[in-house]
Amino acid sequence: MFQISNKVVLVTGATGALGGAVAKAYGYQGAKVVMTARNEAKLKELVDEFTADGIESAYIAADLALEADVKKAVLFCVETYGELNILGVFHGFNKPKDILEQTVDEWQHIMDADLRSVYMVCKCAAEQMVKQGKGGKILITSSARSRMGMKGYTGYCASKGGCDIMAQSMACDLAPYHINVNTINPTVFRSDLTEWMFDPESAVYKNFLKRLPIGRLGEVEDFIGLCTFLVSPAADFLTGGNYDATGGYWGN
């Protein structure tokens, strides 16, 4: 029920902490993994690392804010491995600013990176899956912030809230073609960008723990199981869901 061996997976944002970890997890489970991001040097490093571990993988550098690059990435996936079965969306951007300081262009940049680009890559991947006639799985990384506002996050929260409802709507559109669409909504997890938040003596860390019943922030390993489950046959009946990966934050 949980096997994804021999499935062809396209992972966006593969050079990020979560995208890279999930891409490797999919590869260890026997999937053929195509990774995309803007940093070609980092993508090549990942493919070399995956190849050394016996993972069948390939990469294509692309800026998913550009529709032409989105189409190029999906086409590369199909040309390389013959089809596309699973799309994992792990790219994103945020630059926190108070609404009184953030320009409209800065707000729009967040929306383009976190919502418009997600729509484009899901649309292009879905078109390919429909053409194949075999169904498929689309998994989008949203955020705990999709339901809970935060100072300085007017762009990010808006984009992730839109992402959740967009996934629900896409799920309705694509269900007749046996394509499932879901989001995972993680809390803060460890990465190069968030490492400073994991200092147990810091006020930021202590404040976060007050809102996390599980008693700690997230590690990338915490999300691999959920990301595998939602693209496996075990989740064939699950679509249009926004899956809580917040350590209890949503229920607190």
In DSSP terms, 29 is beta-bridged to: none
**Contact by Cβ (8 Å): 181, 122:** yes
Mean residue pLDDT across the chain: 94
pLDDT per position as a tens digit, 126-172: 999 999 999 999 999 999 888 888 888 999 999 999 999 999 999 99
Question: Per-residue confidence at 210, pLDDT binned at 50, 70, 90?
Answer: confident
Residue 129 has a pLDDT of 98
Q: Is the pLDDT of residue 41 over 80?
A: yes
Q: Which domains does the chain have, with CATH numbers?
A: 8-191+219-245 (3.40.50.720)
pLDDT per position as a tens digit, 12-24: 999 999 999 999 9
Q: Averaged over 201-217, what is the pLDDT?
A: 84
Q: H helices within the chain, ranges in order?
A: 17-28, 40-52, 67-81, 104-111, 117-132, 154-174, 203-210, 221-229
Q: Please say if 156 is a catalytic residue.
A: yes
Q: Averaged over 62-80, what is the pLDDT?
A: 97
| Token pair recorded at residue 165 | 């409802």
Question: Per-residue confidence at 85, pLDDT binned at 50, 70, 90?
Answer: very high
Catalytic residue among 156, 205, 243, 249: 156
Left if phi > 0, otherwise alpha if psi is -120 to 50, otherwise beta: which for 6?
A: left
Q: Is the pLDDT of residue 252 over 80?
A: no
| Token pair recorded at residue 118 | 């997600």
Q: Is the pLDDT of residue 77 over 90?
A: yes
DSSP output for 157-192: HHHHHHHHHHHHHHHHHHGGGTEEEEEEEE--B-ST
Q: Is the pLDDT of residue 98 over 70?
A: yes
Q: Is the pLDDT of residue 175 over 70?
A: yes
